[in-house]
Amino acid sequence: MRRHALPLVSLVLLGAALAACGKSPTAADEQRGQAASSEQPATPGATAAAELTEADKQTILASLPAPYNAADLQNGQRRFALCRSCHTIAQGGPNMTGPNLHGVVGQKAAVHPKYNYSEALKSANLTWDPATLDRWIENPRTLVPGNKMTFVGIKDPKDRADLIAYLAVEGGTKPQ
Protein backbone atom coordinates (compact mmCIF):
# COMPACT_ATOMS: atom_id res chain seq x y z
CA MET A 1 0.00 0.00 0.00
CA ARG A 2 2.78 2.40 0.93
CA ARG A 3 4.59 2.11 -2.39
CA HIS A 4 1.44 3.36 -4.21
CA ALA A 5 0.95 6.42 -1.97
CA LEU A 6 3.78 8.56 -3.40
CA PRO A 7 2.72 8.23 -7.06
CA LEU A 8 -0.89 8.93 -6.08
CA VAL A 9 0.09 12.07 -4.13
CA SER A 10 2.25 13.23 -7.06
CA LEU A 11 -0.63 12.69 -9.47
CA VAL A 12 -3.04 14.67 -7.27
CA LEU A 13 -0.56 17.57 -6.94
CA LEU A 14 0.05 17.63 -10.70
CA GLY A 15 -3.69 17.69 -11.36
CA ALA A 16 -4.16 20.58 -8.92
CA ALA A 17 -1.36 22.57 -10.57
CA LEU A 18 -2.83 22.07 -14.03
CA ALA A 19 -6.34 22.93 -12.85
CA ALA A 20 -5.06 26.24 -11.47
CA CYS A 21 -4.36 27.47 -15.00
CA GLY A 22 -8.07 27.71 -15.74
CA LYS A 23 -9.48 29.02 -12.48
CA SER A 24 -10.93 32.45 -11.86
CA PRO A 25 -8.77 34.84 -9.83
CA THR A 26 -9.44 35.30 -6.14
CA ALA A 27 -8.57 38.45 -4.23
CA ALA A 28 -5.47 36.63 -2.94
CA ASP A 29 -4.43 35.76 -6.52
CA GLU A 30 -4.78 39.38 -7.54
CA GLN A 31 -2.74 40.58 -4.54
CA ARG A 32 0.00 38.03 -5.32
CA GLY A 33 -0.03 39.15 -8.96
CA GLN A 34 0.32 42.81 -7.97
CA ALA A 35 3.10 42.09 -5.48
CA ALA A 36 5.03 39.85 -7.85
CA SER A 37 4.82 42.26 -10.76
CA SER A 38 6.20 45.08 -8.61
CA GLU A 39 9.26 43.01 -7.65
CA GLN A 40 12.51 43.09 -9.57
CA PRO A 41 13.08 39.93 -11.62
CA ALA A 42 15.33 37.38 -9.93
CA THR A 43 17.00 36.38 -13.19
CA PRO A 44 20.44 37.98 -13.68
CA GLY A 45 20.42 40.49 -16.52
CA ALA A 46 16.61 40.61 -16.64
CA THR A 47 14.99 43.90 -17.54
CA ALA A 48 12.12 44.86 -15.30
CA ALA A 49 9.16 46.85 -16.51
CA ALA A 50 9.67 48.94 -13.36
CA GLU A 51 12.66 50.45 -15.20
CA LEU A 52 10.24 51.96 -17.71
CA THR A 53 9.12 55.48 -16.97
CA GLU A 54 5.44 56.32 -17.05
CA ALA A 55 6.14 58.18 -20.32
CA ASP A 56 7.73 55.00 -21.79
CA LYS A 57 4.67 52.98 -20.80
CA GLN A 58 2.32 55.54 -22.32
CA THR A 59 4.35 55.53 -25.56
CA ILE A 60 4.09 51.74 -25.82
CA LEU A 61 0.39 51.86 -24.95
CA ALA A 62 -0.30 54.58 -27.55
CA SER A 63 1.49 52.53 -30.23
CA LEU A 64 -1.03 49.69 -29.89
CA PRO A 65 -4.11 49.57 -32.14
CA ALA A 66 -7.55 50.36 -30.72
CA PRO A 67 -9.00 49.23 -28.34
CA TYR A 68 -5.72 48.13 -26.72
CA ASN A 69 -4.27 51.67 -26.79
CA ALA A 70 -6.97 52.83 -24.33
CA ALA A 71 -6.53 49.92 -21.92
CA ASP A 72 -6.37 50.02 -18.13
CA LEU A 73 -2.91 48.65 -17.25
CA GLN A 74 -3.82 48.14 -13.59
CA ASN A 75 -6.75 45.94 -14.58
CA GLY A 76 -4.43 44.15 -17.03
CA GLN A 77 -2.07 43.46 -14.14
CA ARG A 78 -4.96 42.02 -12.13
CA ARG A 79 -6.02 39.84 -15.09
CA PHE A 80 -2.41 38.59 -15.37
CA ALA A 81 -2.93 36.95 -11.96
CA LEU A 82 -4.82 34.28 -13.95
CA CYS A 83 -1.72 33.67 -16.06
CA ARG A 84 0.92 33.83 -13.32
CA SER A 85 0.37 30.26 -12.12
CA CYS A 86 1.60 28.98 -15.52
CA HIS A 87 3.63 31.85 -17.06
CA THR A 88 6.36 34.36 -16.25
CA ILE A 89 6.76 37.71 -18.01
CA ALA A 90 10.24 38.95 -16.98
CA GLN A 91 12.96 38.97 -19.62
CA GLY A 92 14.97 35.79 -19.16
CA GLY A 93 12.31 34.37 -16.83
CA PRO A 94 11.83 30.61 -16.76
CA ASN A 95 9.31 28.58 -18.67
CA MET A 96 6.80 27.01 -16.31
CA THR A 97 3.74 24.95 -17.24
CA GLY A 98 3.50 27.50 -20.07
CA PRO A 99 6.26 29.47 -21.80
CA ASN A 100 7.72 32.76 -20.59
CA LEU A 101 5.66 35.59 -22.13
CA HIS A 102 8.30 38.33 -22.32
CA GLY A 103 8.08 39.92 -25.76
CA VAL A 104 5.08 37.80 -26.78
CA VAL A 105 3.11 40.69 -28.35
CA GLY A 106 4.12 40.78 -32.02
CA GLN A 107 6.08 37.51 -31.82
CA LYS A 108 5.51 34.38 -33.91
CA ALA A 109 3.70 31.68 -31.93
CA ALA A 110 5.50 28.58 -30.65
CA VAL A 111 9.04 29.96 -30.91
CA HIS A 112 10.18 30.34 -27.29
CA PRO A 113 13.36 28.30 -26.84
CA LYS A 114 13.32 25.28 -24.56
CA TYR A 115 9.53 25.06 -24.43
CA ASN A 116 7.78 21.99 -25.80
CA TYR A 117 4.80 23.37 -27.76
CA SER A 118 1.96 21.20 -29.04
CA GLU A 119 2.07 20.18 -32.70
CA ALA A 120 -1.25 22.00 -33.14
CA LEU A 121 0.23 25.34 -32.06
CA LYS A 122 3.49 24.79 -33.97
CA SER A 123 1.58 24.16 -37.19
CA ALA A 124 -0.93 27.01 -36.67
CA ASN A 125 1.52 29.58 -38.12
CA LEU A 126 0.23 32.40 -35.89
CA THR A 127 1.74 35.74 -34.97
CA TRP A 128 0.73 37.07 -31.57
CA ASP A 129 -0.53 40.46 -32.75
CA PRO A 130 -3.13 42.00 -30.39
CA ALA A 131 -6.13 40.76 -32.41
CA THR A 132 -4.84 37.16 -32.50
CA LEU A 133 -3.94 37.27 -28.80
CA ASP A 134 -7.46 38.53 -28.13
CA ARG A 135 -8.99 35.51 -29.86
CA TRP A 136 -6.51 33.18 -28.07
CA ILE A 137 -7.23 34.62 -24.62
CA GLU A 138 -10.98 34.46 -25.26
CA ASN A 139 -10.75 30.70 -25.86
CA PRO A 140 -7.45 28.97 -26.71
CA ARG A 141 -9.17 25.72 -27.67
CA THR A 142 -11.36 27.43 -30.28
CA LEU A 143 -8.50 29.30 -31.96
CA VAL A 144 -6.14 26.30 -32.05
CA PRO A 145 -7.92 22.99 -31.43
CA GLY A 146 -5.57 20.41 -29.93
CA ASN A 147 -3.22 22.86 -28.17
CA LYS A 148 -2.06 22.02 -24.62
CA MET A 149 -3.22 25.17 -22.85
CA THR A 150 -5.82 24.26 -20.22
CA PHE A 151 -6.96 27.85 -19.64
CA VAL A 152 -10.70 28.30 -20.17
CA GLY A 153 -10.43 31.86 -21.45
CA ILE A 154 -11.54 35.37 -20.50
CA LYS A 155 -14.97 36.26 -21.85
CA ASP A 156 -14.98 40.02 -21.14
CA PRO A 157 -13.50 41.93 -24.15
CA LYS A 158 -12.35 44.85 -21.93
CA ASP A 159 -10.49 42.49 -19.59
CA ARG A 160 -8.80 40.86 -22.60
CA ALA A 161 -7.79 44.24 -24.04
CA ASP A 162 -6.40 45.32 -20.66
CA LEU A 163 -4.42 42.07 -20.32
CA ILE A 164 -2.99 42.33 -23.84
CA ALA A 165 -1.92 45.94 -23.24
CA TYR A 166 -0.31 44.88 -19.95
CA LEU A 167 1.58 42.09 -21.74
CA ALA A 168 2.78 44.61 -24.34
CA VAL A 169 3.91 47.25 -21.84
CA GLU A 170 5.31 45.01 -19.11
CA GLY A 171 6.58 42.36 -21.50
CA GLY A 172 9.08 44.47 -23.39
CA THR A 173 7.16 45.28 -26.59
CA LYS A 174 8.87 48.05 -28.53
CA PRO A 175 6.67 50.93 -29.74
CA GLN A 176 5.82 50.65 -33.43
- Cβ-based neighbours of 93, under 8 Å, separated by 6 or more: 41, 43, 46, 100, 102
Q: How sure is the predictor about 32, in pLDDT bands with cuts at 50, 70 and 90?
A: very low
pLDDT at site 157: 98
pLDDT at site 175: 72
Higher pLDDT, 38 or 124: 124
DSSP string, 31-83: HHHHHHHHSPPSSTTPPPGGGS-HHHHHHHHHHSPTTGGG--HHHHHHHHTTT
Q: Is 24's pLDDT higher than 50?
A: no
Considering the chain, what is the average pLDDT of its residues?
80
pLDDT in tens, 90-125: 999 999 999 999 999 999 999 988 999 999 999 999
Q: Is the pTM of this model over 0.75?
A: no
Domain range annotation of the chain: 2-170
Kindly report the CATH class assigned to 2-170: mainly alpha
pLDDT in tens, 160-169: 999 999 999 9
pLDDT in tens, 56-81: 999 999 999 999 999 999 999 999 99
